Amino acid sequence: MQSFNSYDMRNMQTETRNKHFSERLYYADSLPSGVSACHNGNIAAIRVARPDTAFTFAYGYDAQNRLLSSVRLTKNGTPNSERFTYDEVGNVHSLQRFSNNRKIDDLHYDYGNEGNGLCSVIVTAGHLEAGIYLYSLIADGQLVDTKRMILTK
């Protein structure tokens, strides 16, 4: 299958498309309505389209260029969003996800008192059932470890 890519004058990719999928990256020019321009290379928005659906993600950043928010609007206008906070050394401190303005996930990350290694994730709102979940840690494409997560209600 043949794909086509487009680039702007700064050689930053602006579009990729084939007959089944298209994606448009917005930085500072020709922005969708309500999206703030990013003149520093950050992606301000992404428009994704497939034959059966299309949606736009708009992004917000802090002064250190860390992702603060993501908002997704679909063709039918159903909003979904995410909000991020960071600790003083730049680790993700919390992640909240919303659907139709209802909180569906509220994750808080604990890095302990030594270093930046993640110690635990506290889920205070979400749709996962109580139980044991396995997850894999992958670095450079290689399985590093498999961990167990126990969720209680």
pLDDT in tens, 73-108: 766 666 789 999 999 888 999 999 988 878 888 888
Dihedral of alpha carbons 120, 125, 126, 131, sign = positive
Maximum Cα–Cα distance across the chain:
53
User: What pLDDT is stored for residue 30 in this prediction?
Assistant: 85
Q: 105, 113 in Cβ contact below 8 A?
A: no
pTM of the model: 0.75
For residue range 10-66, list pLDDT tens digits in order.
Answer: 899 999 999 999 999 999 988 887 788 999 999 999 999 998 888 889 999 999 999
Measured in Å, how far apart are the chain's first and last C-alpha atoms? 47
Measure Cα distances from 95 to 62, 90, 103, 121, 146 in Å: 15, 14, 11, 10, 23
Q: Where are the domains of the chain?
A: 1-57, 78-153
- In 3D space, the residue among 74, 81, 71, 80 whose CA is nearest the CA of residue 50 turns out to be 74
For residue range 141-151, list pLDDT tens digits in order.
Answer: 677 777 666 66
User: What pLDDT is stored for residue 20 in this prediction?
Assistant: 92
* Structure-token pair, residue 144: 């590093």
- 119 or 23: which carries more pLDDT confidence? 23
Mean pLDDT comparison of 86-90, 123-127, 132-136, 141-145, highest-scoring range: 86-90
Query: β-pairing, 22-26 with 13-17?
Result: antiparallel
Supply the DSSP symbol for 20: S
* Structure-token pair, residue 39: 């003149």
